[in-house]
Structure 1
Amino acid sequence: MLSALIWLPILGAAGVGFWPNFSKSDFSEQDSARCRTLALGVAIVELVWTLVLGVQFHPEIGGMQWSEFFPWIDALGLTYSLGVDGISFPLIAINSLLTAIAIYSSDRAIQRPRLYYSLILFLCGCVAGAFLAQDLLLFFLFYELELIPLYLLIAIWGGKRRGYAATKFLIYTAISGILLLASFLGLVLLTHAPDFVYNPQLAEALPLSSQIPILVGILLAFGIKTPLVPFHTWLPDAHVEASTPISVLLAGVLLKLGTYGLLRFGLCLLPQAWARLAPALAVWAVISVLYGALSAIAQTDMKKMVAFSSVAHMGYILLAAAAATPLSLLAAIFQMVSHGLISALLFLLVGVVYVKAGSRDITQLRGLLNPERGLPMIGSLMVLGVMASAGIPGMVGFVSEFLVFRSTYAAFPVQTLLCMVGTGLTAVYFLLLVNQAFFGRLSPLVEDLPPVQWSDRVPAIALAVLIVLLGVQPTWMVRWSEQTTTAVMKVFPQAQVAQVINFSPPSQFP
């Protein structure tokens, strides 16, 4: 059941790539339409299958479900081991949803459509494999494989500086992979494990002096991927040069590989070392939140502003993970889902503005909310998106940030208050964006804008509906992960940060 989530998009990528082209030219509108239809069909089937699994998922079970295990390469200790729980299932759902949205939102006249849609589907399969892998080496393989399609998607279909941005992304993430592999190898060798199968008790017998260096390597590896300051510099360049659908996938899904890795392979595998380093991690989270927010305020490019906003919001996840309580772990998962939906919406809307107005510079755009000659629907959705990102009640961003602050204040009161300042700064830079670009008198650049078709609105409306629904009824999402987070923290109660720094953790989310 889980293998289908991996191999369906990968086989779909092969089908799109080798679909017969009956036209004599290398590119034709008919061929592009066929490739898009086939890719979208595969993505929809992937999404439907995810929903089917969601219906059969048992939230009351805290462990892995639908586990698959096959020996692969005995000499290396590599197994094909898959499983899904309350930590990974919400991210699997986000991956399937945003892949379908990215394909639907792609330019219908895209050049080299076979390669383009094949890479997106291959990327979807690799990300699903990373979220489902229950073998350290298998996770690493999928973690590295997803670099290839993403690099090509930026390098081929990106902006003017796409080569620079793609190369920078590749170098940073290659270093991340080296650090991760070294950490996994060190963990397996020191514990004398016969294979790389994921086991939460794997490092239980290791002394703290051995656990901490391994955890530092894991933190650096996933800190680059997340990314956290000062390893964030590749992200704004990648977002600015990437096309809109790729920015949606990058912010909504691929950054979550870093935060997911911090939870699964940092906190869950090395809880004693995690508890010892937790105060430093909380400080690191504050630095990322404040630096990302202040950098966003300084931007005039809409896309770069949203990119720096992602850096700041990743810091909230690290802060929640540092507290290491059932509620804070739940808050981290909710924040990942929340950021995935909100960032995808914002990047979609920025892309529409750029296509219609020809600019993303907020100093040049004014009056986009004009009901007659502007982009009133896009502007309204943008206002909703920035309100959600700023944590306005009634939207998913408020719930996620409230959970983070509620679950971390007892452990890290100063750091939590500073991150609350970051939330206030979020309202500042997004208010600057909306006030300058969407309100005021019409700018000459926005006169006689091309009409926005419903095909451009549907993905953004779908995301906006989810943002509001999960904001009004957060238990629809919380129920998937609550038992898992409780079970994870019960395994190592002696290593909880609550006991390391002597505070009483808050009660679980009702």
Structure 2
Amino acid sequence: MLSLLIGIPLLGSILIGLIPEQAGKGLHRALALGFGWVLFGLSAGLLLIFDPHLGSLQLAERMAWIPQLGLVYEVGVDGISLPLVVMTGLLVLMAIWASGQVERPRLYYSLVLMLAAAVAGAFLAQNLLLFFLFYEVELIPLYLLIAIWGGPQRTYAATKFLIYTALSGILLLVGFFGLSWLSDAHSFTYTVLQAHPLPLVQQTLLLIPILLGLAIKIPLVPFHTWLPDAHVEASTPISVLLAGLLLKLGTYGLLRFGLQLLPDAWQQAGPWLAGWAVVNVLYGSLNALVQQDMKKLVAYSSIAHMGYILLAVAAATPLSLVGSVFQMVSHGLISALLFLLVGAVYTNTGTRDLRLLQGLLNPERGLPLIGSLMVLGVMASGGTPGMVGFIAEFAIFRGSFPAFPLQTLLCMMGTGLTAAYFLLMVNRAFFGRLSEVATAMSRQQVRERLPAAVLATLVVVLGLQPAWATQWIEPTTADLAKSVALSAPATEGVVGKLTCFMACDSS
């Protein structure tokens, strides 16, 4: 089952690549959509066979590959990786759907499916070298997708992304080899390494390259400069995949490699990591506040929201760990929605400049549906109750406060700044008299509206029913919290806490 999640998009990539460019108008897109639906169906099918009451690894598959090097094909899924795998299937389908007619469709859709296979493989891998292999493979298609189908400065942005991500991979590989060589097990398998913990000094030395490698990918300040450029130059569907999925490889690594494999060093570094989270949240938010390009504003917002995840994993309480995984899902859905909507504005008006846009909520000549969904998206990102962003941030703040009260309060300021910069964006672009730039807009296409509507629906549904997601996450994060000997275990289920807070004022 898990191998199919990697093999199906890889097969689709190869098949589409073999079909001639002149085979038929729309054939490559139709095939990509078909494989996208199959990938989403398989990933969603995991929810039917995954036991939500178990926190351990499930559906594991193992096969010897190059055992002399320690490279073994080992895949599995638990409560941390399951929601990210399902989100991968969803966002890949949405990105293909939103792509429409592109130049060189054979290469484009082949690269998108190759990217999907690599991301799914990274989330499912249970071997350090296997994770590294998928981590590096996704670099190739994403670089080409930005460099070929990006904006005017696409070569610069793609090259910058390539250099930063290659450096990230080198740092991770150094840490991975160190984990294997210093461990008594001499293995690259997660569970084996977890059962053979290293002394604190060795853990600390290995945490440094692993953390720096992940910080580049997330990205964390000051390693963030590649992200705004990549987002601005990438096409809308690629920005959806970049923000919704690729950044999550870094935050996923914080849990899997930092907290799970190096728990003693992680707890020692916790206060420093929480301080780093504060810097990330405030720096990203303040930069977003002064942006005039809508897409760059959303990109800096992503940087800020990644800081919440770092804070939650640094605190490493049962509730904060649930919040960290839920925030990955929340940010994936919300950022994908916002980038789709910004792309629709650009497609219809020819600009993303907030100094030129105004009155797009005009019901007759504007973009009323796009504007309405944008209002919903920015409310969700700002943590409005009843939406998925509120649940994730509440769990993070409430779970992190006992461990780091000052850092949590400072990070909470980011929610106010989020409301401020998104309110400015919406007020400038969508309210007031319709600007001259927007008077000759083309009519909205179905492909622009439907993916955004699907994501907006999920943002609201998971905000009202967070238990539909947290029931898969909580057993694994609870086991992880116990494994690092936390001193403040949860006295009630996370779902119960969230539901009580939503339902009664006394909470």
Q: Which TM class, normalised by the smaller chain length?
A: over 0.9
Please name the residue that 2:54 is paired with: 61
Please name the residue that 2:19 is paired with: 19
SS in 2 for 1:255: helix
- Residues 432-469 of structure 1, C-alpha deviations (whole Å, 9 max, x = no match): 10000000111111113111122210000000000000
Rounded Cα–Cα distance in structure 2 between residues aligned with 1:369 and 1:67:
50
Deviation of 1:363 after TM superposition, in Å, equals: 1.0
Please name the residue that 1:487 is paired with: 479
Rounded Cα–Cα distance in structure 2 between residues aligned with 1:12 and 1:156:
20
Counterpart of 1:132 in structure 2: which amino acid? L
Please name the residue that 1:400 is paired with: 392
Please name the residue that 1:459 is paired with: 451
Please name the residue that 2:404 is paired with: 412
Please name the residue that 1:116 is paired with: 108
Match runs of 1:247-326 below 5 Å: 247-326=239-318
Rounded Cα–Cα distance in structure 2 between residues aligned with 1:36 and 1:228:
35
Whether contact under 8 Å (1:236, 1:304) holds in the other structure is: yes
Rounded Cα–Cα distance in structure 1 between residues aligned with 2:489 and 2:450:
46
SS in 1 for 2:230: helix
Please name the residue that 1:9 is paired with: 9
Counterpart of 1:40 in structure 2: which amino acid? L
Counterpart of 1:69 in structure 2: which amino acid? R
Please name the residue that 1:99 is paired with: 92
Structure 1 residues 162 and 264: alpha-carbon distance in aligned structure 2, compared to 1, 3 A threshold: same
Please name the residue that 1:26 is paired with: none
Please name the residue that 2:130 is paired with: 138
Deviation of 1:107 after TM superposition, in Å, equals: 3.0
Structure 1 residues 433 and 21: alpha-carbon distance in aligned structure 2, compared to 1, 3 A threshold: closer
Counterpart of 1:251 in structure 2: which amino acid? A
Rounded Cα–Cα distance in structure 1 between residues aligned with 2:175 and 2:233:
32
Whether contact under 8 Å (2:183, 2:193) holds in the other structure is: no
Query: Is residue 223 of structure 2 the alignment partner of residue 242 of structure 1?
Result: no
Deviation of 1:193 after TM superposition, in Å, equals: 2.7
Runs of 5+ consecutive residues of structure 1 not aligned to the other structure: 24-29
Please name the residue that 1:73 is paired with: 66
Rounded Cα–Cα distance in structure 1 between residues aligned with 2:352 and 2:224:
22
Counterpart of 1:63 in structure 2: which amino acid? S
Please name the residue that 1:180 is paired with: 172
Counterpart of 1:279 in structure 2: which amino acid? P
SS in 1 for 2:221: coil
Q: TM-score, normalised by structure 2?
A: 0.96
- Residues 235-270 of structure 1, C-alpha deviations (whole Å, 9 max, x = no match): 000000000000000000100000001110110011
Rounded Cα–Cα distance in structure 2 between residues aligned with 1:430 and 1:136:
39
Whether contact under 8 Å (2:21, 2:106) holds in the other structure is: no
Whether contact under 8 Å (1:66, 1:83) holds in the other structure is: yes
Query: Is residue 32 of structure 2 the alignment partner of residue 39 of structure 1?
Result: yes
Deviation of 1:198 after TM superposition, in Å, equals: 1.3
Please name the residue that 2:505 is paired with: none
Aligned residues: 495
SS in 2 for 1:434: helix
RMSD: 1.3
Counterpart of 2:173 in structure 1: which amino acid? L
Query: Is residue 200 of structure 2 the alignment partner of residue 221 of structure 1?
Result: no
Percent identity over the alignment is 61
Counterpart of 2:57 in structure 1: which amino acid? M
Whether contact under 8 Å (1:365, 1:437) holds in the other structure is: yes
Runs of 5+ consecutive residues of structure 2 not aligned to the other structure: 497-507
Deviation of 1:325 after TM superposition, in Å, equals: 1.5
Counterpart of 2:97 in structure 1: which amino acid? Y
Rounded Cα–Cα distance in structure 2 between residues aligned with 1:353 and 1:22:
31
Counterpart of 1:58 in structure 2: which amino acid? D
Q: TM-score, normalised by structure 1?
A: 0.95
Rounded Cα–Cα distance in structure 2 between residues aligned with 1:506 and 1:258:
30
Rounded Cα–Cα distance in structure 2 between residues aligned with 1:423 and 1:462:
25
Rounded Cα–Cα distance in structure 2 between residues aligned with 1:154 and 1:478:
34
Please name the residue that 1:27 is paired with: none
Whether contact under 8 Å (1:154, 1:241) holds in the other structure is: yes
SS in 2 for 1:59: coil
Rounded Cα–Cα distance in structure 2 between residues aligned with 1:426 and 1:142:
33
Which residue, 469, 472, 475 being the options, matches 2:461?
A: 469
Counterpart of 2:262 in structure 1: which amino acid? L
Rounded Cα–Cα distance in structure 2 between residues aligned with 1:83 and 1:105:
30
SS in 2 for 1:321: helix
Rounded Cα–Cα distance in structure 2 between residues aligned with 1:135 and 1:286:
32
Whether contact under 8 Å (1:98, 1:252) holds in the other structure is: yes
Deviation of 1:201 after TM superposition, in Å, equals: 4.8
Moved more, 439-448 or 371-380: 439-448
Counterpart of 1:174 in structure 2: which amino acid? A
Rounded Cα–Cα distance in structure 1 between residues aligned with 2:189 and 2:71:
8
Counterpart of 1:250 in structure 2: which amino acid? L
Counterpart of 1:98 in structure 2: which amino acid? L
Structure 1 residues 216 and 325: alpha-carbon distance in aligned structure 2, compared to 1, 3 A threshold: same
SS in 1 for 2:187: coil
